[in-house]
Structure 1
Amino acid sequence: MKFSPLKTALAVAFFPAAVLAQESSVPSLEPIVVTASRTPQPISNVIGDITVIDSAQLKRETSPTLLDLFARTPGLQVYDSGGPQTVSGIYTRGANPQATLVMFNGLRINDTTAGSTFWNLINPALFNRIEIIRGAASGLYGSNAMGGVINLMTTPTETGPRDLSLIANIGGGSNGTFRTNAAISGATEKFDYYLAGAYATSEGFNASNTKNTYVYNPDRDGYNQASMTGSLGYTFAPGHRLGVNFLNAVSRNEFDAGNDPWSVQNAYGYSRQKAYSITSNNQISHWWESVVQLSYGKLHSDDRAYGSTFDSRTNFYSWQNNFSLDENQTLSVVYEHTKERAFNSNGLTQQKRHTNSIAALYKGDFDRHHIQANIRRDKVSGVKGSTTGGLTYAFDMTPEFQVGAGYSTGFRVGTFADMFSPLAWGFQGNPDLLPEKSRHVELNLRYNSNDTQASLTLFQTKYKDLINAYDCSTYPCSTSNVDKATIRGLSVDASQRLGYTTLSLGADFLNAKDDSTGKRLVRRANQIYRASISHEFERINLAADYLFVGHRYDDASNTKEKRLGGYGLVNLRTDYKVAKNFQIQASVNNVFNKKYAPAYGYNAQGTNFFLNLAYQH
């Protein structure tokens, strides 16, 4: 029988919906989502393709970064350069890593110099939830949100008093790895608080191989990572809360820089991320809420092998007004002002720019009909202004089944490196670079009951004026807006709870091509399959995960030499409750020691284990 990705996807998504649960479950509190509409709402009211990674999933994660967790998340593909401490990135629905906006409690933390995110600094133990939007969201959040948004959150969604909660972990594993973290949270009538800290160190493994001629070095490449975050709030009157958030993370990262006599041995670098914000939520009247945020972020990188450094700093000011038109309709009006500064040891011809933004968002629920519409105008200094927006609609066919459709546009402004790099080594930035633009459409079908969840999403994104970061068609090489691309995809995901057993299945099918050449975009796999099964005993939980990633190419020409082979990974984990508040957790990743390349010339970690002692009160 001929294989059909669409038929397979439909079967994977909706077979569990036809299976009757063996035992009824006790309904749990519905997750509250903020990022999808910039206001808190139950996840069942969200229109669009969103994933919430809750605190339970974050507590189980044994990696020092979020990449392994994201690799198992629908619609996301990840890569690194030989370990969690190396250069890495995320493709959201096939969009370039720079086209995913990453925020910490609403403050953007993407690097303004190169547009990347320093995932090596972000420990999963720091956060109590993560909200992921897939699809163009520039109409909500402006530049960089062409592919989607990832919001790392510590702020509470609950209101009212909460008992003190304490979580602590300490463990070790393969390659001399040691990790520990702790978090404390709670709330009184007036105060709420969340504080978390984490430390991780490892001797690492050899990051590169002989295919990477210029950097290969057979030594181990380890890391040291320390981080702290927190959220403090004071409710001085009903509906009036003042909150403070902070993030401070630092990492020492080893990498390969060659093995010749003149190469730097034991190369390493430092990176540091800081973010601070103050937010005032004020319920002016029963129909008007004012939200004011003042934020500051700083990212520093210091490369001790090549002697290069850079800093990027962002000041962000936001005033959002939420108007309740009636019990089923809301209107939000937003003004934002962003100041960016970049400093590079190689020099930049311009080091400052600012952005002024205004936006409006409408959301209405009319019985079985749900609609969300938004429009936004961004004016970046020295760059032509961009207007983006979106319109989504959902219809409840039954209390469990929902069908929806959406259209949105996106844009991304070139980075400081793209536009303002001085002439050096035959390359010069292009100050006349236009913003990238996108048009995105999607259709989705969802089923949700107490024990069964399933979703199917079809989408297409058209990109134009894509930034070619290294165009050498003329001298000197520079950046240009010559590229166009089309990305089409189908994503399915389903989970079924049968008594004490939970089964999850998922698949992503992606067709991401350069419109000019017909070649596949770099590092995008056409197919990804996910499966997991877990079972709860009285004191023991057992779980197994499987992830298959199809082959990719590491160059735009899709040459055979730089074809990255597909791979399948099996991971196992178990939790054993040894006492009321204590658990022993064990995990084995890449059980069958699969050899594969996350990027050309770089190695992935082989079979590895981690043993952890967890305390929760």
Structure 2
Amino acid sequence: MKITPLNVALAAAFLPISAFAQEQATELEPIVVTASRTAEPLKNVVGDFTVIEQEELQRETSSTLLELLARKPGLQVYDSGGPQTTSGIYTRGANPQATLVMLNGLRINDTTAGSTFWNLIDPALLNRVEVVRGAASGLYGANAMGGVINLITTPTETGPRELSLKANIGGGSHGTFRTNAAISGATEQVDYYLAGAYTTSEGYNATNVRNTYSYNPDKDGYEQASVAGSLGYTFTPGHRLGVTFFNSVNRGDFDAGNRPWDVQDAFGYTRQKAYGITSTNQITDWWESIINVSYGKVHSDNRAYGSKFENRTNFYSWQNNFNLAENHTLSLVYEHTKERAFNSKGLSQQNRHTNSVAALYKGDIDRHHIQANLRHDNVVGVKGSTTGGISYAFDITPELQVGGGYSTGFRVGTFADMYSPLAWDFQGNPNLRPEKSRNVELNLRYHSEDTQVGLTLFQSKYKDLINTYDCSTYPCSTSNVDKATIRGISLDATQRFGNTTLSLGADFLNAKDDTTGKRLVRRANQVYRASVTHEFERINVGADYLFVGHRYDDNANSKEKRLGGYGLVNLRADYKVAKNFQIQVTVNNVFNKKYEPAYGYNGQGTNFFLNLSYQH
């Protein structure tokens, strides 16, 4: 396997390591934007929210985010036998298509099938991940019924900072080799960031004999190369023009059967590109204008079945933030999204436009915190949707906060759902209505220097859910017939005892189809998390535990399609061998637990990774 298009950019990311050496910038207080679309300190966020910082992203040895996200509250993940395969995330039990995934604010959900190509997102390229749980269509429109995951490549620090250099090179089980590097810095006027990553692996066998049609006992390897960067120029204080870019390509093997007529060495190519230009201007003391123009493209080529598809997204937004008074902000937003889909099997319609307007309010009055939003999305060819939400939080003490909220969401059918031509007795339904959701939640948070505790109770009700294969009439098609109710409790706690940090978490989920009373596909009722880390003078050691309860891989909850529960133990250690160098060792699935992330697909057995890290 060989990928060459990004090798030059990757080399450019490594080259400066031998040429520059300056001190790293001082870390500032975390500022987040996804929860309210305006910059605010993490401690002021209202709602159920998680931030994954760069330090944790850099420690991740997997070439995708899935393993890291699986250890976060309210998220359950699946794959199809490895990092290179089809995968998805259930946010509070919502379908993967109902979680909006953005890259620097640009939605990157596949418009043909609604999925996200997680195999193209290398954690090493990201500076931050922000996760909003709960219906957020009032903020971001379609597909945000379960929540929002915003992948941010640009550094979050503001103001001048000296040159920072980071690089990693390592290898491990299954012939895996992984390397990445990044350079960033800023002056009074110019800020910059460039990162590159490359991974190759022989992989492991993705399928087992329960996968009747796809089983093949060979190894399923992959090769991935990525590059990301940003460049900003501040003309005068409050006036900045910035550009971002992202380009990733993956060649992944998969199983397509082991019969004489099957393709024995099946593989596919996938590429994702994203480019954006943002102009941020402080027009007056009370008016900030943010204009964004972005373009995204996904191309997939399945070499086993000769199928191709491509999605292109043009996104334009103008957001105006008005400071009504101290700690009171009103934002008015206009967005225009143009989606284009191309499929080798053909689509009866290939273009879709969405025009959106929204009003967002954020206010802090002494110990009271309020956030409200209202949004209308007009999707061409689909009934328009008005969504919104209101959240309130009260500081009982400076450390203890209680809050709650109500929000609504919607999701539009994919191009495949609505515009697939008649083939194999199936045809898309252009009259599909949008899926709808209503979400109610209560939150309790405690935060002190050494202790963090979060408790969330929620209920989400869904209607007009899309049945993607309804054969009650001929030809088979899609229809709005399903309803579901998801109730859950999520608990997350972290306590620091000197040099030791202990984290515990649990999710309890009741996700059922309202019509049949059956559990929704691949949702576990219980997930437990535990982590402990201890810091010595030059060595840090840690252990992680993740338990996922049993699930079903079909709507009927049949015994045949029952996926057993499993518990995974991972161990890690970092040793500082010199001022700027660390050796990192990770051993995953220590006890070689056998499990299925999806029916007929294998989870990864015991594996290790050894990495040499450089930071300056």
Fold match (TM-score > 0.5): yes
Identify the residue that residue 105 of structure 1 maps to in structure 2.
Answer: 104
Identify the residue that residue 295 of structure 1 maps to in structure 2.
Answer: 294
User: Pairwise mapping of residues 424-443 of structure 1 onto structure 2 (< 5 A)?
Assistant: 424-443=423-442
Identify the residue that residue 372 of structure 1 maps to in structure 2.
Answer: 371
1:553 aligns with 2:543: no
User: Pairwise mapping of residues 44-443 of structure 1 onto structure 2 (< 5 A)?
Assistant: 44-443=43-442
- Partners of 2:153 and 2:598 lie apart in 1 by 32
- Partners of 2:57 and 2:269 lie apart in 1 by 25
1:608 aligns with 2:607: yes
TM-fit CA distance, 1:195 = 1.0
Identify the residue that residue 486 of structure 1 maps to in structure 2.
Answer: 485
One-letter amino acid of the structure 2 residue matched with residue 241 of structure 1: R
Identify the residue that residue 6 of structure 1 maps to in structure 2.
Answer: none
Local SS of the residue matching 1:423: coil
Local SS of the residue matching 1:427: coil
TM-fit CA distance, 1:194 = 1.2
For residues 427-467 of structure 1, give each alpha carbon's deviation from its aligned partner in whole angstroms, at most 9, with x where no partner exists: 10000000000000000100000000000000000000001
- Partners of 2:510 and 2:229 lie apart in 1 by 40
Local SS of the residue matching 1:468: strand
Identify the residue that residue 577 of structure 2 maps to in structure 1.
Answer: 578
TM-fit CA distance, 1:224 = 0.2
One-letter amino acid of the structure 1 residue matched with residue 308 of structure 2: T
Local SS of the residue matching 1:69: helix
- Partners of 1:521 and 1:134 lie apart in 2 by 19
Answer yes or no: is the 8 Å Cα contact 2:31–2:39 preserved in 1: yes
Answer yes or no: is the 8 Å Cα contact 2:28–2:157 preserved in 1: no
For residues 343-399 of structure 1, give each alpha carbon's deviation from its aligned partner in whole angstroms, at most 9, with x where no partner exists: 000000000010000000001100000000000000000111000000000000000
- Partners of 1:195 and 1:30 lie apart in 2 by 23
TM-fit CA distance, 1:29 = 4.4
TM-fit CA distance, 1:297 = 0.3
- Partners of 1:32 and 1:471 lie apart in 2 by 46
Identify the residue that residue 593 of structure 1 maps to in structure 2.
Answer: 592
- Partners of 2:389 and 2:523 lie apart in 1 by 26
Identify the residue that residue 5 of structure 1 maps to in structure 2.
Answer: none
Q: List gaps (5 residues or longer) in structure 2.
A: 1-25
- Partners of 2:121 and 2:347 lie apart in 1 by 28
- Partners of 2:63 and 2:156 lie apart in 1 by 25
Local SS of the residue matching 1:36: coil
- Partners of 1:312 and 1:60 lie apart in 2 by 32
User: Pairwise mapping of residues 23-62 of structure 1 onto structure 2 (< 5 A)?
Assistant: 29-62=28-61
Local SS of the residue matching 2:331: strand
For residues 581-607 of structure 1, give each alpha carbon's deviation from its aligned partner in whole angstroms, at most 9, with x where no partner exists: 000000000000000000000001100
Identify the residue that residue 24 of structure 1 maps to in structure 2.
Answer: none
Identify the residue that residue 565 of structure 2 maps to in structure 1.
Answer: 566
1:523 aligns with 2:522: yes
- Partners of 1:350 and 1:273 lie apart in 2 by 22
For residues 298-331 of structure 1, give each alpha carbon's deviation from its aligned partner in whole angstroms, at most 9, with x where no partner exists: 0000000000000000000000000000111000
TM-fit CA distance, 1:158 = 2.3
For residues 68-87 of structure 1, give each alpha carbon's deviation from its aligned partner in whole angstroms, at most 9, with x where no partner exists: 00110100000000001000
Local SS of the residue matching 1:438: strand
Local SS of the residue matching 2:68: helix
- Partners of 2:193 and 2:27 lie apart in 1 by 22
For residues 157-183 of structure 1, give each alpha carbon's deviation from its aligned partner in whole angstroms, at most 9, with x where no partner exists: 322100100000000000000000001
Local SS of the residue matching 1:479: strand
- Partners of 1:582 and 1:536 lie apart in 2 by 16
Q: Compared with structure 1, are the counterparts of its residues 310 and 554 closer, same or farther at alpha carbon in structure 2 (3 Å cutoff)?
A: same
Local SS of the residue matching 1:59: helix
TM-fit CA distance, 1:30 = 3.1
Q: List gaps (5 residues or longer) in structure 1.
A: 1-26
TM-fit CA distance, 1:28 = 7.8
- Partners of 1:397 and 1:231 lie apart in 2 by 41
Answer yes or no: is the 8 Å Cα contact 2:27–2:157 preserved in 1: no
- Partners of 1:533 and 1:328 lie apart in 2 by 38
- Partners of 1:477 and 1:193 lie apart in 2 by 52
Q: Percent identity?
A: 81
Local SS of the residue matching 1:300: strand
- Partners of 2:173 and 2:430 lie apart in 1 by 47
- Partners of 2:605 and 2:155 lie apart in 1 by 38
Identify the residue that residue 14 of structure 1 maps to in structure 2.
Answer: none
One-letter amino acid of the structure 1 residue matched with residue 578 of structure 2: A
- Partners of 2:222 and 2:394 lie apart in 1 by 49
One-letter amino acid of the structure 1 residue matched with residue 200 of structure 2: T
- Partners of 1:245 and 1:110 lie apart in 2 by 18
- Partners of 2:33 and 2:416 lie apart in 1 by 32
For residues 262-308 of structure 1, give each alpha carbon's deviation from its aligned partner in whole angstroms, at most 9, with x where no partner exists: 00011000000000000000000000000000000000000000000
- Partners of 1:147 and 1:229 lie apart in 2 by 28
For residues 501-536 of structure 1, give each alpha carbon's deviation from its aligned partner in whole angstroms, at most 9, with x where no partner exists: 000000000000000000000000000000000000
For residues 101-133 of structure 1, give each alpha carbon's deviation from its aligned partner in whole angstroms, at most 9, with x where no partner exists: 000110101111110000001100000110000
- Partners of 1:406 and 1:155 lie apart in 2 by 30
Local SS of the residue matching 1:186: strand
CA RMSD for the aligned pairs?
A: 0.8
